Amino acid sequence: MVHQMLYRALVSTKWLADSVRVGKLGPSLRVLDASWYSPGTRQAHKEYLERHVPGASFFDIEKCRDTASPYEMMLPSEQGFADYVGRLGISNDTHVVVYDGDDLGTFYAPRVWWMFRVFGHRTVSVLNGGFRNWLKEGHPVTSEPSNPEPAVFKASLDRTLLKTYEQVLENLKSRRFQLVDSRSQGRYLGTEPEPDAVGLEPGHIRGALNMPFTEFLTPDGFEKTPEELRAMFEAKKVDLTKPLIATCRKGVTACHIALAAYLCGKPDVAVYDGSWCEWFRRSSPETRVSQWKA
């Protein structure tokens, strides 16, 4: 286990509501709505324009990514990320709070939390309970757009928190890292299809364990306690004192594993950014496990 002072990964709705009320939002505290929904369902930006946390900016994950990649949600370049978040008024001295509007409570926010961390920014938190509980508890919302003053952000890629296809492939032999997949059991096993996917069969990387990300959340949409999370890792025989790679379909819900481990005191979980989307298209069949019958 890495022993170091960990920045608070979660802030409460009450804490954020109090910060909004006393006017703390500004260059030192920025809020981001990182909502994203499958095409043909909800419209994240439209919902943001209708109502959001006062002072929040919209973080468009479709724009803050490597749009040239054939895979789904790959990281942008250092400069691309720096330019994007700088336009949102975020500097290296800003505390960033991220939320999304998913019915689960939290879905995409941990991805943005991890993105900031992988680009060297440590003062970033997820709003525990998300916009779902912000609304449920009656905190204020607004339709007023946020127009923060642009800031200068310098990004520095922390490669210890990021794994590539080649590194995961090498790990199949060396087994230096534990590998954990955050998708549902059906998609992991290959008994259920990958949603909204063309030419992508379900299944998992050989040797990966399965911890569905939804199980890290309570029915009310809050993150489970560190004690509960530790028990979950222990039940899956995941050793938090040893190196760990998180994977999923496109590097999004894998970040829930990184967040859960962080809350247990382990800040060094790496995410395989390409995840199953890349692995299925690049790997040889013997490195994949699936019960899928086309």
For the question of residue 248 being annotated catalytic, the response is yes
Element holding 227 (H helix, E strand): helix 226-235
CA pair distance 184, 214, nearest whole angstrom:
8
Q: Write the DSSP symbol of residue 283.
A: S
On the 0-12 / 13-18 / 19+ scale of CB atoms within 10 A, 120 is: middle
Q: Are 264 and 239 in contact (CB under 8 A)?
A: no
Q: Which residues contact 117 (CB under 8 A, 6 or more apart)?
A: 124, 158, 161
23: which DSSP letter?
A: T
Among residues 248, 255, 264, 277, the one annotated as catalytic is 248
Q: Which two tokens stand for residue 256?
A: 């829930």
* Cβ contact 27:94 at 8 Å: yes
Expressed in angstroms, the distance from the first to the final Cα of the chain is 42
Q: Buried b vs exposed e over 41-69: b needs ≥16 C-beta within 10 Å?
A: eeebeebbeebbbbbbbbbbbeebbeeee
Contacts of 7 (CB under 8 A, 6+ apart): 122, 123, 124, 125
- Residues with a catalytic annotation lie at 248
